[in-house]
Structure 1
Amino acid sequence: MYTLDQVRCFVAVAEELHFGRAAERLSMTQPPLSRQVQKLERAVGVALLDRDNRHVELTSAGTVFLAEARRLLTAADAAPALARRIAAGRAGVLRLGFTAATGFSLLGTLMQTISEVMPAVDLDLQELVTIEQIEAIRRGELDLALGRPPFDDELFDSRLLLSEDLVLVVPESHPLATSYAVRAADLRDLPIIGHHPTKARYFYDMVVRYVDLSHADVVHVVSQILTMCSLVGAGRGVAFVPESARLLGLPGVRFLELADVPHGVVELHAIWDRTSKNPALHQLLHHLRSDQD
């Protein structure tokens, strides 16, 4: 096995093509320099230099090895600084989960923040529903989730990132489309595009809590907000969605306030494992706390 000192000695000789000048460059004498290069050649198993009393030349193997040796030394020189950046949370990898709805509301802003605060951190993005994100954090496959309640407060810590209204989306040709706000009574006998009771449990429970719907009213059950709004635009029914769905800019739909539902009931949380040791995660959380204080 060869050492970095041996590699540095070889690179100096290879670049100077003169042992005396290389020794002076490295602030050492020529005999130990020659021994270091010889040890390197024995470790590599081939001659890297052709030399005699008058000249020094690289062998074919030495030419190839020189390029790799330079890369090795560059990486070795950068490693301590990289380790310090990782320890400080300014480098490394942050595995971030998000729901489809988050993708058109908060995700872009958060990614911009991460790019500005921690430009050397690599982002690994995974689109998952909240329950899948929670399980991924539990298995150690995600560092941070952008999801909805509920979650186990003993295992996971969280921070509220966004509160928004629950609204009703209707086809633009619907009789209610000219209204500013509607009440639950206005929805009687209307076809409803409902939320999946397990894959979209958060919205399913919320709608059931505030609106009395009979099963006969639900004509489709889906799990994604984009799919809901698209079905509404196709005239298949009306649906309950977070207000940020307006950002989708889908044609053929109108968003109406729900007069019977309190404002800000739809919550989006940053969720993470309380025991996480990822410095990049803690650097981001520190920034989020500072930004909201």
Structure 2
Amino acid sequence: MVSMEQLVGFVAVAEELHYGRAAARLRMTQPPLSRRVQALERELGVELFDRSRRTIRLTPAGRAFLAEARKVLHASQEAVLTARRTPRGDAGVVTLGFTATTAYSFLERVVTEAAARLPGVELVLREMVTAAQVEALLAGAVDVGMVRPPVRTADIRTAPLTSEPLLAALPEGHPLAVRAPYPGVADFDGEPFIMYSPSEARYFHEVLIALFRAAGVQPVHRQYLSQVHTILAMVKAGLGLALVPAAAAALRMDGVVLRPVTGLPEGGPGPGTVRLDLAWRAGNDNPALPRLLRVIRRLAGDRQGSPIT
């Protein structure tokens, strides 16, 4: 079995091409270093050095082995550094769950900021609806999620991240898309409407139901879908109107016009806005998790949310 001491000795001799200098570099005497190299050669069954001349040289086998030995030594050093950094949260792996709409804007900023502030932490991304994220958090398959509220599970901690207004998604050429002023909630009354699924997109479904009920508006629900990009495609096809989070503007879908909606409540989460929360399991012992949570919440500008424990 090749030992690390043998590899270190071989690399030193191969780089110095002189036993005396290599021994001095390793703070040892020459005879034991020579024995290490000879033992390595016996273990490998090949000669690593050509000793037929006054100066030693690497054999072809020695040159090939040197490249691999350096890789092994580098990997062992990285392993030691990783082990030392991990308890401090400077290294490790954190799995982050996110909903599809999060990817349109906020997720990109999270990935960029995490890479800059936590270069030793690998971020594994998993796109999942909120219900699946909660299950994964409880099972330990995901460390932190960006979810839609509410999460009513005792073992899950949450903190508010962001909120954004709803925009009207209108087919290009539709009267509400070309006229001024901007459309209001009442303009959706009796209009064909692409609604969110009450099961797969429950949060958005409930937000819109509450919004229309408060305004006394009854759109005609033509389809029930869960993904914003699919809803926009149906709007483009002329199947109906829709209300989508402002982040959907990043999709820039041809044939669809996005307009602000007048008369919606402003100034924070409410019937006219949709919210995004940060969620993690209480007691998660991943050392890198608290650092990533702080990065995400700092990025969101949330200074007042629940403490991260």
TM-score by length of 2: 0.82
State the partner residue of 1:229: 232
State the partner residue of 2:184: 182
Alpha-carbon offset, residue 118 of structure 1 = 1.4
- The reply on whether 1:259 has 2:263 as its aligned counterpart is yes
Alpha-carbon offset, residue 155 of structure 1 = 1.8
**Is contact 2:160-2:302 (8 Å) kept?**
no
Change (3 A) 1:24 1:113: closer
Q: How far apart, in 1, do the equivalents of 2:63 and 2:2 lie?
A: 18
**Is contact 1:169-1:256 (8 Å) kept?**
no
Mapping of residues 140-289 of structure 1, within 5 Å: 140-177=140-177, 178=179, 179-184=181-186, 186-212=187-213, 217-251=220-254, 252-257=256-261, 259=263, 264-265=269-270, 266-289=274-297
Q: How far apart, in 2, do the equivalents of 1:236 and 1:168 lie?
A: 14
Alpha-carbon offset, residue 280 of structure 1 = 2.6
Alpha-carbon offset, residue 139 of structure 1 = 3.1
Unaligned stretches of 5+ residues in structure 1: none
Q: Which moved more, 1:188-197 or 1:38-47?
A: 38-47
Q: How far apart, in 2, do the equivalents of 1:199 and 1:248 lie?
A: 21
Q: Which moved more, 1:52-61 or 1:244-253?
A: 52-61
**Is contact 1:166-1:261 (8 Å) kept?**
no
Q: How far apart, in 1, do the equivalents of 2:260 and 2:302 lie?
A: 30
- The reply on whether 1:292 has 2:297 as its aligned counterpart is no
Identity of aligned residues (%): 42
Root-mean-square deviation (CA), in Å? 2.8
State the partner residue of 1:113: 113
TM-score by length of 1: 0.86
Q: How far apart, in 2, do the equivalents of 1:18 and 1:271 lie?
A: 59
Q: Which moved more, 1:65-74 or 1:239-248?
A: 239-248
Alpha-carbon offset, residue 86 of structure 1 = 3.1
**Is contact 1:246-1:255 (8 Å) kept?**
no
Deviations 1:112-153 (A, max 9, x none): 211221133333222222222223333333222112023244
Change (3 A) 1:42 1:171: same
Alpha-carbon offset, residue 237 of structure 1 = 0.7
Unaligned stretches of 5+ residues in structure 2: 304-309
Deviations 1:150-203 (A, max 9, x none): 32442212221111223432234333333434234x433211101112111111
> How many residue pairs align between the two structures?
292
